Chain A
Amino acid sequence: MTGGKMQEPLLTVRDLIVEFPTRRGTLRALDQVSFDIAPGEVLGMVGESGAGKSLTGAAIIGLLEPPGRIAGGEIRLRGERIDNLPPEAMRRIRGRRIGMVFQDPLTSLNPLYTVAQQLIQTIRTHMDVSESEARKRAVGLLDRVGIPAAARRIDDYPHHFSGGMRQRVVIALALAAEPELVIADEPTTALDVSVQAQIIDVLKEICAERGASVMLITHDMGVIAETADRVAVLYAGRVAEIGPVRDVIQHARHPYTAGLMGAIPTLEQDSDRLVQIPGAMPRLNAIPTGCAFNPRCAHVFDRCRAERPILQRAAPNHHVACWLTEEGSA
Chain B
Amino acid sequence: MTPLVQVDGLTRRFDISKPWLNRVLERESRQFLTANADVSFEIKKGETFALVGESGSGKSTIAKMIVGLLAPSEGRIHFDGQEMDFASGANMRALRRRFQMIFQDPFASLNPRWRVRDIVAEPIVTFGLLQGADVAREVDRLLEVVGLSAADAAKFPHEFSGGQRQRIAIARALSSKPEFIVCDEPTSALDVSVQAQILNLMRDLQDEFGLTYLLISHDLSVVRHMANRIGVLYLGRLVEVADAKRLFLEPQHPYTRMLLDAVPDLALSGRRRKPVLGEIPNPIDPPSGCAFHPRCPLAQDICKADTPQPSVTPTGQAACHFAGKIGEVA
Contacts and interface: CB of A to CB of B under 8 A. Distances in A.
A259 B195 CA distance: 12
A48 interface: yes
Nearest to B54: A192
Interface string A38-77: 0000000000110000000000000000000000000000
A194 B221 contact: no
Q: Which among A192, A221, A275, A277 has the highest number of chain B CB atoms within 10 Å?
A: A192
A197 B276 contact: yes
Contacts of B225: 265, 274
Interface residues of B, number: 40
A268 B264 CA distance: 12
Contacts of A49: 191
B163 interface: yes
A281 B267 CA distance: 25
B258 A194 contact: yes
A225 B192 contact: no
Contacts of A149: none
A254 interface: no
B91 interface: no
B191 A219 contact: yes
Interface in A251-300: 259-260, 262-270, 272-278, 280-281
B193 A48 contact: yes
Given A197-B261, A263-B196, A274-B200, A192 B224 contact: no
B218 interface: yes
Interface string A210-234: 0000000001111101100000000
Given A162-B279, A194-B262, A225-B264, A267 B192 contact: no
A96 B273 CA distance: 34
A280 B200 contact: no
A272 B48 CA distance: 14
A194 B275 CA distance: 9
A193 B220 contact: yes
Nearest to A226: B264
A194 B276 contact: yes
A270 B245 CA distance: 9
| Closest 8 A/B residue pairs (Cβ) | A222-B264, A263-B196, A265-B225, A48-B191, A274-B196, A192-B54, A197-B262, A265-B221
Given A165-B279, A220-B264, 8 more contacts: A48-B192, A193-B220, A197-B264, A225-B264, A266-B267, A267-B224, A277-B196, A278-B197
Interface of B: 54-55, 161, 163, 191-197, 199-200, 203, 218, 220-222, 224-226, 245, 248, 258-269, 273, 275-276, 279-280
12 contacts: A192-B218, A193-B54, A193-B220, A194-B258, A194-B279, A222-B266, A267-B220, A274-B200, A276-B200, A277-B193, A277-B196, A280-B163
Interface of A: 48-49, 162, 164-165, 192-198, 200-201, 219-223, 225-226, 245-246, 249-250, 259-260, 262-270, 272-278, 280-281
